[in-house]
Amino acid sequence: MKISSRFTVAVHILSLIKVDSSHPSTSEWIASSVNTNAVVIRRVIGMLKKAGLVGVKAGAGGAYLLKDLEEITLLDVYRAVAAVEEGELFQMHENPNVECPVGANIQSVLELILKRSQDAMEQVLADVTMKELVTDLIAKIDA
């Protein structure tokens, strides 16, 4: 299974808010850039709002950043949209048979390794800020 596109959509949203100042960042406008339905965008923005990353002018239209892009890591975004529940990237099989020595002990052995693996993935996200991403993005746009 894959990690929900909510994550990449959220990154797109934040980038667009920052890069395009010619339009108010309404859900319709963002949806036309992402190429999806405005309600999908509103749902993701709702999650970013709960995480304190953006604010929204209710009724009036338009989302805006509440933090500097330097202060937002990709991991913050990833967590904000609950792309994966914390510490739950790998699905363990449930209730192995504890009567069996292997069944009784496999979980704890695996957990350690899988956590390391997941942590490594998240660490890469933690090391990239939205600022860096948008800088790269603008470089591409201007190229």
Partner DNA sequence: AAATGTTGTAACTATAATGATTACAACAAA
Partner DNA sequence: TTTGTTGTAATCATTATAGTTACAACATTT
Q: Could you tell me the smallest distance in angstroms from the CB atom of residue 53 to a copy of itself?
A: 17
Q: Could you tell me the smallest distance in angstroms from the CB atom of residue 92 to DNA?
A: 9
CA dihedral angle for residue 46, residue 51, residue 57, residue 63, rounded to 10 degrees: -80
- Residues from 1 through 20 that contact DNA (CB under 7 A): 1, 4-6
- Residues from 27 through 46 that contact DNA (CB under 7 A): 27-28, 36-40, 42-43, 45-46
Q: How many CB atoms lie within 10 A of CB 120?
A: 9
Q: Which is nearer to a copy of itself, 24 or 36 (CB)?
A: 36
List Cβ neighbours of 68 (8 Å cut-off, separation of 6 or more). Answer: 131
Pick from 59, 97, 139, 141: which binds DNA (CB under 7 A)?
59
The interface partner of residue 61, options being DNA, a copy of itself, none and the CB cut-off 5 to 8 Å by kind, is DNA
User: For residue 11, is it left (φ>0), alpha (ψ between -120 and 50) or beta?
Assistant: alpha
Q: Check residue 27 and report its DSSP letter.
A: H
Does 114 contact DNA by CB under 7 A? Answer: no
Q: Could you tell me the smallest distance in angstroms from the CB atom of residue 37 to DNA?
A: 4
Under 8 Å between Cβ of 89 and 118: yes
